[in-house]
Amino acid sequence: MKRVLIIAAALVALAACASNGPEGNPWYSQGDVTYDTVKAAADACKAKGGDFQLKQGGDPTHLGDYACNPRKGS
C-alpha cells in the first residue's frame, strides 16, 4: 500500500512540473525562438499597445519566456 501511495505522489509531482509554463502550458509548448516568431509576437503585442519583453529570469531561446506587458501610463 505504501508503494502505491509513493508512486501516486510521484506522478502528481511530475504532472505539476509539466504545467509550469505560461497559462498553465508546459514551457516547451510555445516553441523555440526564431526571428520570425519573435517578430510576429512583437508585432501582435505592439498592435495591442504593449511592450514585448523577455520575462525576468527567462530563457531567451523559449518563446514562452516572453510576455506582452502593458505600456506604462496606458
Q: pTM score > 0.95 for this model?
A: no
Q: Is residue 74 scored above 80 in pLDDT? A: no
Q: Percent of the chain beyond pLDDT 70?
A: 64
pLDDT at 12: 60
Q: Is residue 39 scored above 50 in pLDDT? A: yes
pLDDT at 24: 52
Give the 3-state secondary structure of the chain.
Answer: CHHHHHHHHHHHHHHHHCCCCHHHCCHHHHCECCHHHHHHHHHHHHHCCEEEEECCCCCCCEHHHEEEEECCCC
